[in-house]
Amino acid sequence: MAPHPLCGHFKSFTSRREVLNTKRSVDKRAASRRKESKVEVEKTEATRKGLLLASRWLSNPRTPVWARRHTPRGWAPALTDPATHGWTAADLNDAIDAWSKATRMAPAPKHPIAFIRWLMKQQDLAFAPHVLVQIAADQEKAERDRQAAAFEAERGRYAAAAAEDSPGRQAARFVARRAADSARIRKTQASARENETSPVWITHLSDRGKR
């Protein structure tokens, strides 16, 4: 029989199993070479931070009861942005308390996640409550240091401008002399008391020697 014009005598047929295995191995190698993009890595990290913040928030004693209607995984998407900006569980509760104080209402939302999403949009996420507290404390300390430095500089100017016979310097010298006199008197009295007790002690030893 004449060979088939397209196949010939030496045509080898590839099995279906070999084709499938080869395709699977090629796809596997292609998948292993694929790296996550920067956007995907950042999204994964943000989700992880949101989940961590949600877990800590739900375990905080100050957290409202209505927040516990949802699990940490349920809260994670809503808390991703605050977590990325460094918010803490205390910051979330401080924001809720501030809203409650401003509106004079105790929050009892029907949809807690929607409420927190809305509340976070009202905040400047770059300045969490604990950051604002630290900024205020730093400013207060800087102001105290500035006032103390100004006081010392002013006192130094007055001291330098005072004449030798000024009332202030005369009073200072008088106080210094009184302090020196008092110290000298105390030292003299202490020495006198020591001298008064010494002969008695020596006499007592002499009497014992005679016995």
Residue ranges of domains in the chain = 45-126, 128-161, 167-211
Q: Of residues 190 and 181, which shows the higher confidence score?
A: 181
Residue 62 is predicted with a pLDDT of 96
Distances (CA, A) of 16 to 19, 103, 121, 150, 173: 5, 71, 57, 91, 112
Confidence check: pLDDT of 103 > 60:
yes
Q: Looking at residues 3-26, what average pLDDT do you find?
A: 51
| Confidence bin at 188 (pLDDT 50/70/90) | confident
Asked whether the predicted pLDDT for residue 57 surpasses 50, the reply is: yes
Q: Average pLDDT in the 187-209 region?
A: 59
Amino acid type, 84: T
Of residues 54 and 202, more confidently modeled: 54
What is the reported pLDDT for 24? 58
92 CB-contact burial (10 Å; exposed 0-12 / middle 13-18 / buried 19+): buried
Class of residue 50 by CB neighbours under 10 A (exposed 0-12, middle 13-18, buried 19+): buried
Specify the DSSP class assigned to residue 15. Answer: P
| CB 46 within 8 Å of CB 80 | yes
Q: What is the pLDDT of residue 43?
A: 85
Maximum Cα interatomic distance, the chain, rounded to a whole number of Å: 156
Apex 203 CA angle, 197 and 206, nearest 5: 145
Q: What is the mean pLDDT of the chain?
A: 78
Spatial separation of the C-alpha atoms in residues 92 and 82, rounded to whole Å = 9
Q: Report pLDDT for 99.
A: 96
Summarize pLDDT for 24-52 with one digit per residue, the tens.
554 555 555 566 787 888 888 989 999 99
What does the alpha-carbon distance between residue 76 and residue 57 come to, in Å, rounded to a whole number? 11
pLDDT of residue 133: 87
Closest CA to 143 of 135, 153, 154, 155: 135
Q: Which residue has the tokens 């209607």?
A: 69
